Structure 1
Amino acid sequence: MLTIALQTLRTRFTLFIGTFIALSLGVALIAGTGQVLNATRQQSGAPAPGRYDAADVVVRAPQSYSVRFGSGDGAYEETRTGTRPHRLGDAEKIGAKVASVPGVAKAVVDRSVPARLLTGPDADAGAETVARGWTSASLAPFRLSGGHAPQRPGEAVLAFAPGAGPVARVGDRLTLLTAQGRHEVRVVGLAERAGATKAADGSAVSAVFLTDTEVRQLSPVPAEADAVAVVAGPGVDARSLAERIGSALPDSGLSAYTGGKKESGTAGASRAEALGQVATLLALMALIGCFVSVFVVSGTFAFSIAQRRRELALLRTVGATPSQVTRMVLAEAAVLGLVASVVGCVLGVQGSGAITAVLKHYGMAPADMTVPVSVPVLVISFVLGLVVALLGVFAASRRAAKVRPVETLRESDVETRVMTTGRWITGGLFLALSVFLLFQLPGAGDDGAVVISMVLTEILVVAMVAFAPLLVPPLVRVAAWPLAALTRFTGTLAADSARSAVRRTASCAAPILVTVAVAGSLVSMSNATSATSINDERAHLRAGVVVKAAGEVGVPADGVRALAGLHGVTGASPIELTSGSLVSFNALIPSTIGAVDADELAGSFRLTAAKGSLGALRGDTVAVSRTVADQAGWSVGEEVSLRLSDTTAMKLKVAAVLDTTAGLPGVLLPRDTLLRASPGLAPGRVYLALADGARPEEVARAAGEVARGYGAEALSHDEWLARSAASAQQEGRTLVLVLLGMALLYTGIAIANTLVMAAEQRAGGLLLLRRLGATGGQVVRSVLWETLTVVVVGGVLGIAAAGVTMLGMGRALSRSTGGTAAFPVPWAEMGMVLGGCLVVAVIASLIPTVLQLRSFRTPRRAASVPTAPGPGNGAAPQQVEPPVASRL
């Protein structure tokens, strides 16, 4: 049967072109996302060059931690590296001990202070950077390219990334903003480092070097430092020196590192965290892509087998056994899968670059991220393509084996018993599973609800396709009723054609169904999450003005005092922001952490506690949102653990579980508690409570003048909410675009493929219409109405699947938000998706129809010579009934 399969593929390649394209694009989608996903794992290390390249040994505190979960044989550990350096204490004392070790030529106590260099005309623009002592410049190394080294307080050397235009020149006076406040500096020198690359955030300034004394004064804890870097003497082995240094620091908790371990790993951890988010996004893309690929390919195979029933019956007539027919169909799929998988892998290599470019464009991936070709990923994609081809044709091959020889005599396209036993079993199982997941949604939490909703959508799509023979006829009848009423015969003809060829209609509606369902559920979930968050903030934010800082430095204490002293301001609520990981019962959960003063919050927020009391947020306590409490399994009164981004461990008691967060982080600590564990944090936001009668716009303008001096901006209550809403909507749309972009392109091509294949099946009916006297315009209109009916059927089923998903998502959000959940219907987005499906479907249907009409034009009748009545000539024929064409 392999020979027959090869001959069939060679002679009737047009029959398989749609399946070939669908399978190739499916493999390309999987290979492209797999290449980028693999690249995120390979590039999680710290980028080169490093901070201590010129040092031989680096002494520092541990930058990683491990948490053990479970017990017994099922126990496991989760390890994390901090994204901010964990400082060592008594730095000068440690540096002196290290310097006294034999073989040490120089020991440098290295400190860094997060800073922002304000360079705009009104000090409202600047670049995130870091301030370090000039002695540390030799560790990278940085070299002076102009001017001289800083010699006294207030002098600075700016280090620029190669290729970046300098933001200042020697002699310029600039403002350096740190958590301690504003500092005026004069540029006395410029430095650069050979081999360095431009920062991923586009910043031109790599570092600002001050005197060692000034950096120590600017440090939040002057006795602490990032590390002690060591330069070995001539001929001294670095590893041996590291061992001697370790012996000189017993019981200190510090370690001496050499080689690739000299770097703290915080830069690599920050990069890994960003790439981890990309990996999660790509995993969702791959999930959607795999589902769409399997769904479309299997449907295309099934449709192609249905078109060949008479051909397969003819094989049975000439003596082919059912097993031989099955082997022939599987052989066709295997050969087709091999070739399509190769083409798909080639396309996937090119597509990975397009995916990476989109991620970079929207700021979801580092600017310097590269995607090397991964042979293992391509092999896996190739195998998956072959497996998808075989699985997609397996059920169809079983149906092919059951074709009876007598079906060679079948001329009608009316299908009987389309609702097979396999469809009943598949539809019933997936429908039951969807009902189970629907009931699980309310208790899944926000993040869990999103994941379950995505899976639920796909399961519902499978169930609807399985039950399509039951759903399609009544939907066609309803959808075609207006057309039949408006167009008389052509609309009725289109409805009858769609209703009689149930398998063809269901196959054409299937890709539209999956497109609308997946797009609708994702857009609806994104819109609902964003709208709920904005509703929450709108309902509970009382502050009349919000000041938002740019970058890590924030608004220092003197800036907060200036804002609080403005006319019309009755109170200022600064919120320090950092990040960390919550230790739940079974995992470490990344989270944003805020530092607040519970007494100050009342003037700017209406916060209520579902359990516990916000007033108890004092000392070593924590307040969390209901969502965080559900995720981490925390409850009021329980002692819990969390780790800050510099790996500092904290033991806290849960004081309250909040009904709402009003735009605040989901984890809140008392300000003095967090600043004691992580000194140097400055408020990222300052909420200003206004006096009665104060005008928010006027206060916002006055606050803006103060905020600009600290690289921040001030927004009125309404402006802040509008900005938050626009940002949330833009973020949601970007996420949906990235998730759905390639999948929607693929389903669009799948829609075209399926309808082109359907046009071949419809060719016999069109020829019959022409022979009955129908004009070409009437045939085209009947095909157009049938296509419109198919789009409506697929759209209705897709909207139904997305609606059921949103029903469950709505229950989950309503439970976790305390009544502020919102579910806007994405009319515009869904209209665009349906409109796109309609355009693709109409083009894919009409072009083959027009070509078919040209190929079988009915020959003109020979002109007859009129004869007069007479002997031997009958009377002239009288036209009793108008031609068929005039009645259609």
Structure 2
Amino acid sequence: MLRRGRELGVDRRGTFLAVLLGTTIVTTFLLLLTSGHPRVPDRLADFAIVVTSPDAANRADAFAEPVPWSASEAQSLAERLRSVPGVEAVAVDHRFYAQPVLDGRPVTDSTTGHAWLGEGPPGPGEVIVDRSLGVPVGATITLLTAAGPHTWRVSGHTDWRGVYFSRPDAERLGPGVRAIGVSGPASAAAVQTVVGSAGTVSTGDARGVAEPRADARTRWIGMQVLTATTALAGFACVFLIATTSAYAVDQRRREIGLLRAIGATPRQVRSMLQRSALLLGLRAAPVGVLLGALAALFLARFLVGAGLEPRGYAVRWQPWVLAVACAAGPLISLAGTALAARRAARTSPIEALRVARVEPRAMSRGRWISGLTMAAAATGAGIAAAGADDLRDVGTYALFGAMALVAATVLLAPAVVPALIRVLLGPWPGVTAVLARESARTAVRRTSSTAAPVLFTVAFAVFVTGTAQTSTAAWETRRANTIGAETVLVPDGTPGLPDSASASAPLDTTVYVERSPVAVSGAESVAAGTALVSAEAARRYGRSVTLTFADGERETVRVAGTAPSGPLATDLVLSRDTVRRHDPSALAPGAYPVPPGPVPVGARAASPGEIARQADAEDDRLVRLFTMLLLAVSAGAGALAVANTLLMTARRRGPDHRVLWLAGASRGQVLRAVALETTLVVAIGSLLGGGAGLLAIAGSARSLSAQIGAHVPVSVSWPAVAASVACCLVLGLAAALWKPAAARQWRS
């Protein structure tokens, strides 16, 4: 009885740990996911009301800036706002390119200049800078603007990011206006009446609409990462808790048989098992929520430092998130136990006692139906991914297809496990191999259950790393095919090249055609008042087109011909002088070919191959971080589940090891048999998981092939996969060998 009590304690501890781990993972990523909200810019935080210019007519995830007001329109609106009752002050916000240079290198995380909106503004030729730059008040600082490097005097410090100028200097460097701050107890409705359709009035947290588009893009990328990770974390939580709970019930068949033999009804058995699972879940979930909240604080700082979230991102403590995470563990544990308990409770007393030694058939009708349903869902997701036009849809279908495929493989694994056992251990001679082979073969359900966490870990290691490497290689190929053979002068630590780097390089800017943003290049070869358009854009524009420029001014230009092709080509090409006149902060994406003379600050020469590799270097870096995060969640959770499951199994198999000892087996023979069987389990899970992961990637590769018009081979990070398998094997062997190595019979 004492031994039975210890075995039940191990089963309960195993279920407790599964719920604890699952709840921790879900809490962490659900908190991070729900904490991503637009943040009010620091310079506008003291204004009760923020008025922003009209939104661009495009999808929100394109991150286009709002259509700007011209300087005269902004000034007129500001004068009308000052007449609203309750308005105490109105400040016009100007934003433009200004980047500090320290020790001959541009400061990469500070590229924006603003008009100072507070008290004590700097004078002409003076700036207020972030004190973290380390430039003392009264000293000079070199700033890169679109015209080139210039020296400014530092008149003050702030804790805000960016560089702050006097109003006249700000109007000269960035005449267009996209935000106006209003302070005082004025009502938002009265302000909106004055603004009308000329802009949007925001208060409270809604003022975050004025956040920089770069921050919005970073936050959006972070949300995509966290959405996928949260989905994977939820799947891991369901998978780990449900499989562990069901396995714990299967391990209690002897106890169930005894209860049925003394008169317990199936309903009483089900009630006992479900009540036990629920109580364990209720004990583990609060601890998991606490650990998940602490992990969220750490990961939030990591996400900001890694560039997956903008500066200022922090965990938001929302009670409903904690409640959902706390309820998830017990409910999933209850659901996982309910299915196994229903099957176990239907067993007759004699049969339950008998199957305590010999397992029933591994594949039930319900398991076949569930497994085939998941396989059909995975096939449907793969077909949808292969036919999707949007890469976001491809990623979503591929992830859900991978989840369904893993679930199908786990459910259908017992059907193929016997064949895999024969293939892997059939040729091996010796008593140890026979013991391991027959132990695994006569307990297919147990073997499949212990292999399931390995399958999960390896499948997602293959899928996650394969998806990242396959997509990265595909886009590098596409970029390389669009770049010519000439060397190009490209930005180095700056968002673009100023006029001092190349006075004739084409300038990039954004104009608006009926509020729709259009990327424009300004070239010297184009006459003033005319535009060249690409073949695709020619179908959208007629003989002339009216443009709203970055300074808010409108101008109609005549379409004069077709835009030239090249690595820096755009759909719309205007006169360079026109672009510079309307956008004093316009920068060149590169100089093609490289101009003569020394390479200036903030620029470097690059070959076509380097451009192909580094055109999206930042996005590729974020993809690698995304991959590491997903791999850490899947591999970490899976490896711990492997150790937990095998530890539960080892405690249950003490009598089997004692029988071998009584039959004459030595300690070394028993340990070798256990080690070989554990290695067999890891090998089976790795083979099935690797196959599932490769099938999931195949659909994504076909979709990418259609996107770029070239064959995309499947590429997987096999070292990462091998590390995941090795981690599972090491933890599995440690868990499986610990109990038999410390058994009492070896000391007797």
Identify the TM-score tier after normalising by the shorter chain: 0.7 to 0.9
- Do residues 116 (structure 1) and 98 (structure 2) align? yes
- Do residues 549 (structure 1) and 491 (structure 2) align? yes
Q: Which has the larger radius of gyration?
A: 1
Change in Cα spacing, 1:577 to 1:746, as seen in structure 2 (3 Å) is farther
> 1:109·1:225 contact (CA, 8 Å) conserved in 2?
no
Distance 1:320 1:579 in 2: 78
Distance 1:443 1:786 in 2: 43
SS state at 1:685 partner: coil
Distance 2:368 2:81 in 1: 79
Listed as ranges, the matches of 1:139-288 within 5 Å are: 139-142=117-120, 149-150=123-124, 156-161=125-130, 163-167=131-135, 170=138, 172=140, 174-179=141-146, 181-182=147-148, 184-187=150-153, 189-193=154-158, 197-199=159-161, 205-209=162-166, 212=168, 214-219=169-174, 224-225=176-177, 239=186, 253-254=197-198, 265-267=209-211, 271-288=215-232
Distance 1:307 1:316 in 2: 16
- Length, aligned pairs only: 728
Distance 1:305 1:99 in 2: 70
Unaligned regions of 5+ residues in structure 1, if any? Answer: 1-7, 69-77, 151-155, 200-204, 232-236, 563-571, 602-612, 623-636, 653-660, 690-698, 860-888
Distance 2:314 2:713 in 1: 40
SS state at 1:164 partner: helix
2:431 aligned residue: 489
Listed as ranges, the matches of 1:78-477 within 5 Å are: 83=65, 86-91=68-73, 94=76, 98=80, 110=92, 112-122=94-104, 128-131=110-113, 137=116, 139-142=117-120, 149-150=123-124, 156-161=125-130, 163-167=131-135, 170=138, 172=140, 174-179=141-146, 181-182=147-148, 184-187=150-153, 189-193=154-158, 197-199=159-161, 205-209=162-166, 212=168, 214-219=169-174, 224-225=176-177, 239=186, 253-254=197-198, 265-267=209-211, 271-407=215-351, 409-410=353-354, 413-445=357-389, 446-477=391-422
Distance 1:355 1:553 in 2: 28
Instruction: Report the residue type matching 1:796 in the other structure.
Output: L
Instruction: Report the residue type matching 1:802 in the other structure.
Output: G
1:62 aligned residue: 53
Offset, 1:385: 1.6
Change in Cα spacing, 1:94 to 1:425, as seen in structure 2 (3 Å) is same
Q: TM-score, normalised by structure 1?
A: 0.72
Distance 2:546 2:678 in 1: 60
1:72 aligned residue: none
Change in Cα spacing, 1:322 to 1:228, as seen in structure 2 (3 Å) is closer
Instruction: Report the residue type matching 2:40 in the other structure.
Output: A
Output one character per residue of 1:758-805: Cα deviation in whole Å (capped at 9) or x when no partner: 112322221111111111111111111111111110000001101111
Bigger drift between 409-418 and 273-282 goes to: 409-418
Distance 2:481 2:645 in 1: 49
> 1:81·1:265 contact (CA, 8 Å) conserved in 2?
no
Distance 2:556 2:372 in 1: 50
Change in Cα spacing, 1:276 to 1:727, as seen in structure 2 (3 Å) is closer
2:745 aligned residue: 856
2:562 aligned residue: none
Change in Cα spacing, 1:229 to 1:491, as seen in structure 2 (3 Å) is closer
Output one character per residue of 1:179-235: Cα deviation in whole Å (capped at 9) or x when no partner: 3x1263342x51235xxx343xxxxx53133x72x544444xx5x54567789xxxx
Change in Cα spacing, 1:757 to 1:372, as seen in structure 2 (3 Å) is same
Residue of structure 2 aligned with 1:616, choices 516, 535, 547: 535
Distance 1:795 1:102 in 2: 70
Unaligned regions of 5+ residues in structure 2, if any? Answer: 527-531, 558-564
- Do residues 479 (structure 1) and 424 (structure 2) align? yes
> 2:33·2:223 contact (CA, 8 Å) conserved in 1?
yes
1:17 aligned residue: 13
Residue of structure 2 aligned with 1:37, choices 29, 33, 37: 33
Offset, 1:242: 9.9
Offset, 1:620: 7.8
2:714 aligned residue: 823
Distance 2:401 2:327 in 1: 27
Residue of structure 1 aligned with 2:685, choices 794, 805, 810: 794
1:688 aligned residue: 592
Offset, 1:559: 3.2
2:572 aligned residue: 670
Change in Cα spacing, 1:409 to 1:313, as seen in structure 2 (3 Å) is closer
Distance 1:549 1:532 in 2: 24
Change in Cα spacing, 1:414 to 1:256, as seen in structure 2 (3 Å) is closer
Residue of structure 2 aligned with 1:526, choices 468, 473, 484: 468
- Do residues 843 (structure 1) and 734 (structure 2) align? yes
> 1:536·1:662 contact (CA, 8 Å) conserved in 2?
no
Offset, 1:370: 2.1
Provide the identity percentage: 26
Change in Cα spacing, 1:95 to 1:809, as seen in structure 2 (3 Å) is closer
Bigger drift between 719-728 and 773-782 goes to: 719-728
Instruction: Report the residue type matching 1:576 in the other structure.
Output: D
Distance 1:507 1:751 in 2: 10
Offset, 1:443: 0.9
Aligned CA-pair RMSD:
4.5
> 2:108·2:494 contact (CA, 8 Å) conserved in 1?
no
Listed as ranges, the matches of 1:583-622 within 5 Å are: 594-596=519-521, 615-617=534-536, 621=540
Bigger drift between 671-680 and 311-320 goes to: 671-680
> 1:619·1:670 contact (CA, 8 Å) conserved in 2?
no
2:40 aligned residue: 46
Instruction: Report the residue type matching 1:542 in the other structure.
Output: G
